[in-house]
Structure 1
Amino acid sequence: MNLYSKIIGTGSHLPPRRVTNEELAKQLAEKGIETSDEWIVSRSGISARHYAEPHVQSSDLAVEAARRALEMAALDANDIDLIILATSTPDHFGGFPSTACVVQRKLGITNECAAVDVQAVCSGFVYAVSVADSFIKSGAHKNVLIIGAEVFSRILNFEDRTTCVLFGDGAGAVVMTASREPGVLATKLHADGSHADILCIPGRVSGGVVEGSAFLHMDGQAVFKLAVSVLDKVANEVLRIAGMAASEVNWLIPHQANIRIMQGTAKKLGLPLEKMVVTVDQHGNTSAASIPLALDKAMRDGRIKPGQNVLMEGVGGGFTWGAVLAQM
C-alpha cells in the first residue's frame, strides 16, 4: 500500500491589533504621505491587517498557531518528531538559533526532535510542506509540525506607501502525519535567482552595522507579471503529476498577496472565484503565514470537508514558487 503524508490538524493566530486602511492612512498622513482606503483596496483588495506588539516575536505567534493545530490533530506536542518553520522574520538576527528551535522550547517539547527554519519568503509554507511530505514518505519522520510565521511589520518602510500598506503579521500551522489514506497527492517547487532584486531586503550587515536598506523593497509591476505566469504553470504541473484535472479541485488557496493576482490565477485554471479561499482582505500579505492562515479559516468554518482536493500555491522573493495538491 502507498504511504502518504496527510494533514490532520490546522491552526492559526493573528495578533489582536487590527489596523484598517483608514487608520493606516491617518498614520501615514501625519508623515505627509497620502493614501486612502479606496487606493489600497483598488490595487490590492486589502482592507485591514494585523500588527504584532513590539514585544511579540514570530515564535510567539507560531506557538499559538501550533497549539491549535495540535489540538485539532489530537496529538501531544511530544508526538512531533520534526518541526519545519517558514519565516523571513526570525526571532534572532541571522536566523540563529532557528525560530523552529525557539518554538520547540516554548511548546515544551523534550523529545529532542529535529527543528529547522525554511527561508523561501512567501513560498515558504509550500516549500516546508513539500519537504515534510518527502520526509514522511521516506519513513524518516511520522508526525511533522509545519508553521508559517511572520512579523513583517518590523521590516516595512512606512514612508513607502507602495509596500507598507500591503503586509501584515500572523501565523498558521498544520500537522502532517504518515497515513495509508490519500493526503498530499503532488508537490512541485521552483526558483529563479535571476529575479532576486525585484522583491528583497537589499541591505546586509558588516561588523554589526547595516549597510544599505533594511526595509523590504518590491518592484510591484515586475512581481505581478511574474507571479501570474509562474502560478498558473506550477498549478498545472502538480495537476499533471497527480493525474487530475483542474475541475477536480474543490478549493484553491493561493498565497494571499494581491486579489488581482489571485483572481488571475483562478481564471487561468478555469476555476470559479467561489472555489478560491480569500483572506487577503482582512489579513493583508502575511508572507509564509498566508496559506496556512487561509487553510485554517476554511477548515474551521466548514468550507473544506474531508475528502476534498485543495490546491495551495505560493510565490515569493528569491524568486521562489511552488504548489501542493492535497486531499483533506
Structure 2
Amino acid sequence: MTIRATVTGVGHYLPERVVPNAEFEATLETTDEWIRERTGIERRHFAAPGETTSDMGARAARAALAMAGREPSEIDAIIVATSTPDLTFPSAATMVQKALGMSGGFAFDVQAVCAGFVYALTTADALMRAGTAKRVLVIGAETFSKILDWTDRTTCVLFGDGAGAVLLEAVETDGAPADRGVLATDLHSDGTFKDLLYVNGGISTGTAGVLKMEGKEVFRHAVSKLAQTAEAALERAGLSGADVDWIVPHQANLRIIKATAQKMGVPMDRVVVTVQDHGNTSAASIPLALSVGVERGQIKSGDLVVMEAIGGGLAWGSVVLRW
C-alpha cells in the first residue's frame, strides 16, 4: 500500500483593497497598457494597514477546512510558505495555529520565495508518507506590498498580497498513477543566482529592505527551468504532458506562463490563469489559483494537475497531483 497526500479542501483570501494598473500612473513613468503588454497583470490586491500574512493565511485555512468539513482540532500540522512573515520569529504558521484555536499538533514556515508552496507541499507529502502526520494544512501567504520599492516601476507593479490553502489528508492507495493525491515532486535550487532576485535587507542590515530583481535574467531562467521541472515530475509519476488536465503555474508573468505551457505542449485552455487579477503573490499564487480554478469549475475530481514555480534563490520545483 502507498500513502497519498490527497486534497480534501481548498480556500483562499484576498485583501479588500484592489489596485488597478492606472493607480501607478500618478507616481511612476508607466501606463496600464505598458504593464498589461509586458506582464498580463491588470490589477492586484494590497493588504490593509495592520493586516498581516498570518491573518490572511488563517482566513484561507478556514475556507479550506470548511470545504473539507474538518475542525481545526482534527489537524496534525500547519505548514506556511511565505517570505513575508509577520515577525522574524515565531513562525507565521504558529500564529495561524493560534488564530484557528489549535493547541495541539505542530506548525512551521517554509521559505523558498515564489517556489515556497511547491516546497511546502513536498514537505507535507514526505511527513504524511513517514506517518508523522495524517492531516496537514499547507498555506501560501504573502504581503509583498510591505517590501516593494515604490519608485521602481520594473518591480512594484508586479506584486500583490493574498493567501491560499489546501488541506491534505493521508489516504492508503495501490500506488497507481490513477490514484488521487500527490503522485510526484521535483525540487531544485542554485544559490549562484542569488543576485537575480532578492531583498536587500534582513538581520545583516538591520532593515526590512526592498525587493530587487534582474527581470530579463529571471525570465530566461524561468521559461527553461519550469518546463524541465514539470516534465521531470511527470516522468517520475509515469505520465507525460498528454496526460495533464491542468497546469496551475506560479502566476508571475503571462508571457512566462504561455512560454512554459508551449514548451510542455499543453494548450493555454488547460492552464489556470489568475495573474491578471492578483499579480504575483509569490508563495500564495499557486494555492490562490488552485482555489479559484475549483471555484470556477475548471478543476474537478480526478483531474491531473501540474504545479510549477520559480523564485529567489534561485529555487524552483513542481508537484504532480491528481485532484
Calculate the TM-score normalised by the size of structure 2: 0.96
Q: Which runs of 5+ in 1 are unaligned?
A: none
SS in 2 for 1:165: coil
Q: Size of the alignment, in residue pairs?
A: 317
Give the Cα separation in 2 of the matches to 1:203 and 1:3.
Answer: 41
Structure 2 runs not aligned, ≥5 long: 174-178
Structure 1 distance, partners of 2:206, 2:11, is 37
2:200 aligns with one of 199, 202, 220:
202
Question: What is the letter of the counterpart of residue 101 of structure 1?
Answer: T
User: What secondary structure does 2:2 align onto?
Assistant: coil
Distance (Å, rounded) in 1 between the aligned partners of 2:101 and 2:5: 25
Q: Following the alignment from structure 1 to structure 2, what is the Cα–Cα distance between the partners of residues 321 and 38?
A: 30
> Does residue 264 in structure 1 map to residue 259 in structure 2?
yes
**How far apart, CA to CA, are the structure 2 residues paired with 1:296 and 1:179?**
21
Which residue of 1 is the match for residue 52 of structure 2?
57
1:117 is matched with 109
Distance 1:64 1:2 in 2: 32
1:2 corresponds in structure 2 to: 2
Partner in structure 1 of residue 121 of structure 2: 129
How big is each residue's C-alpha offset from its partner over 1:231-272, in whole Å with a ceiling of 9 and x where there is no partner? 011011001100101011000011000000000000000000
Q: Secondary structure at the match of 1:49?
A: strand
- For the residues of structure 1 that align with 2:93 and 2:2, how far apart are their CA atoms? 30
- Superposition deviation, residue 73 in structure 1: 1.1
Distance 1:76 1:24 in 2: 42
Task: Give the match's secondary structure for 1:7.
Answer: strand
Identity percentage of aligned residues:
51
Q: Return the offset for 1:25.
A: 1.9
SS class of match (2:226): helix
Tell me the equivalent position of 2:176: none
TM-score, with structure 1 as normaliser: 0.95
- Structure 1 runs (4+) deviating above 4 angstroms are none
Choose from 162, 166, 186 the match for 1:188. 186
2:229 to 230, 234, 241: 234
**Which of 155, 161, 174 pairs up with 2:147?**
155
1:23 deviation in Å?
1.7
Deviation of 1:24 after TM superposition, in Å, equals 2.4
**Aligned partners of 1:164 and 1:243: how far apart in 2?**
41
- How far off its partner does 1:202 sit? 2.0
